[in-house]
Amino acid sequence: MYLFGILGVGEVRMKIAVIGTGYVGLITALTLSKIGHKVITFDIDKKKIENLKKGIPPIYENGVEEVLKERNLKVTYTSSYKEAIINSEIIFICVGTPEGKDGSANLTYVYDVCDAIIKHIKEDKIVVLKSTVPIGTNDKIDEYINSKLKNIKVEVVSNPEFLAQGTAMYDSLNPSRIVIGTSSKTAEKKMLKLYEKFSSNTDIVVTDRRSAEMIKYASNAFLALKITYINEMANICEKLGVNIEDVAYGMGLDSRIGPKFLKAGIGFGGSCFQKDTKSLYSISKKLNIDSKLLKDIIDINKNQKIKLILKFKEDFKRNYKNKNIAILGLSFKPKTDDMREAPSIDNINTLLKYKSNISVYDPIANENARKIFGDKITYCTSIDEAIKDKDAVFIMTEWSEIVNYDLKKYEKLMKTPYVYDGRNCYSLKDIQKYNITYKSIGRK
Ligand code: UGA
């Protein structure tokens, strides 16, 4: 699975602090220690740190638990800012930049870390911002920190992260590219030394800080656009009686387009695409550009999320209220328990308005769903249990056990086998063998 082993004796070992143990922070810490550096990982949440010391990760992510158990990893955990800051030559800021009220990024946590650095720093250091931040933030942070320090110089470097949840550990150890934003030769040299292990098989882009920040936003907005585009095509295909899967396949063979991120569905979820596209839109507005394209991505995706409900209402006519419904898959994508911006939330909320009686099933996200919906819905431990005697089923996440589910059971266990598939889990050929009313995205 991984490209790199632990460094050999005598190779570069740098002292690193990683602030934040979310997806980006924890994975960065583990990756840097896996390539041989000595990493001290900080989180303000003492419980998370205690658990990490016992090998319990604060996030559900493939491969992380195994890496935490590796014996020769040079990684320690602390909830003391002072300990992390004074014992490192490079400090990575990996805290969240959630969506603010007006769509712009909220930088409170980033500045909290800057304040801690200002308080505890004793000598020159490099501060690397991995959190996704609006263009110009690295410059502002540089100014903010250095204006408060005397006889100490901090070089602020932008180093955005491109990992995706579900494959985060793999992505981080096999990066598509490494982007380093700095105009300081000293910082550039140190960052190249830090990532030396990757240099033979990874493109390293060195640019100025603002361009590095923009690479991250532009990449995420483009991926969101690509999904939105294929979803729009799917909606057109549906009306034309054309199959979007075949169209996407045919398009993807063109190397200029590529096959990835052309999977039509009920819209993108997750903590990044919506937040970053909104933030970039908010930036464009401040620049008097008011990018209609970026706004449309967000609006179209919002509508896409409840596409299946329209089909359901069409099928059940005036009789769509008070139905017994099953929701299969709750997380925003498979292999994660993360429900941020997941289409399942919009669908459950709408169905609750219709006074539906809802049973849900997800292999790992039930607990997170409980935090959102409490006892308004019923949590099941199997697909069989969730769909039993139901009037309709909605598929929200393409978990492999849902994709591989025995189709006969929809016919056998449901009261009326109406299956609304938001992730095109089944082939139309297979479905036709059963007496199931099946509606998916962009297919007849
Ligand atoms: C995304 C990017 O893919 C990462 O490169 C980036 O680093 C990350 O955001 C971030 O900024 O932190 P992630 O949100 O974890 O990663 O997950 P994706 O695999 O990109 O999926 C996002 C959503 O798009 C999911 O709901 C997924 O179901 C949907 N999607 C994806 C589609 O509907 N169709 C596709 O073809 C691909």
Is the per-residue pLDDT at 3 higher than 60?
no
Query: Which residue CA neighbors atom 35 of ligand 1 most closely?
Result: 261
Q: What is the pLDDT of residue 7?
A: 46
**pTM score:** 0.95
Say whether pLDDT at 426 is over 80. yes
Q: What is the pLDDT of residue 206?
A: 98
Average pLDDT over residues 352-381: 98
pLDDT, the chain, mean: 95
At residue 412 the predicted structure's pLDDT band, cuts being 50, 70 and 90, is: very high
Which residue matches tokens 């509508």?
303
- CA of residue 268 to ligand 1 center, whole Å: 7
Burial of 332-361, coded b for 16+ CB within 10 Å and e otherwise, reads bbbbbbbbbbbbbbbbbebbeebebebbbb
Cα(159)–Cα(16) distance, integer angstroms: 14
Nearest atom in ligand 1 to 398's CA: 28
Report whether pLDDT(22) > 50: yes
| 383 vs 410: CA distance, rounded Å | 10
Protein residue closest via CA to atom 11 of ligand 1:
272
Strand-by-strand arrangement of the 154-158 sheet: 75-78, 38-42, 15-19, 90-93, 125-129, 154-158, 178-181, 204-207
Note the pLDDT tens digit of each residue in 115-133. 999 999 999 999 999 999 9
pLDDT band of residue 5 (cuts 50, 70, 90) is: very low
For residues 411-417, average pLDDT:
98
Q: What are the φ and ψ backbone dihedral angles of 392, each rounded to 5 degrees?
A: -155, 155
Shortest CA distance to 130 belongs to which of 162, 82, 99? 162
Q: Which residues lie below 8 Å from residue 161, measured CB to CB, with a gap of 6+?
A: 24, 28, 94, 130, 132, 172, 216
Ligand 1 site, CB within 6 A: 132, 161-165, 220, 223, 227, 261-263, 265, 268-270, 272-273, 332-333
Which atom from ligand 1 is nearest to the alpha carbon of 165?
Answer: 15
pLDDT tens digits, residue range 246-285? 999 999 999 999 999 999 999 999 999 999 999 999 999 9
Residues 137, 111: contact at Cβ < 8 Å? no
Q: What is the pLDDT of residues 67-99, one digit of tens each?
A: 999 988 889 999 999 999 999 999 999 999 998
Q: Would you name the residues annotated as active-site residues? A: 272
Kindly indicate the confidence band of residue 103, based on its pLDDT and cuts at 50, 70 and 90.
confident
Chain segment 24-64, per-residue pLDDT in tens: 999 999 999 999 999 999 999 999 999 999 999 999 999 99
- In the predicted model, what is the mean pLDDT of residues 427-440? 97
Please tell me the distance from the alpha carbon of residue 119 to that of residue 114, in angstroms, as a whole number: 9
> Which of 174, 273, 297, 423 most suits a substitution to test ligand 1, by most atoms within 8 Å of the C-beta?
273
Q: Whose CA is nearest to atom 16 of ligand 1?
A: 164
Decide if 358 contacts 377 (C-beta within 8 A): yes
User: How many Cβ atoms are within 10 Å of 178's Cβ, its own excluded?
Assistant: 20
Does residue 24 contact residue 39 with C-beta atoms inside 8 Å? no
Q: Among residues 380, 381, 429, which one has the least CA distance to residue 407?
A: 429
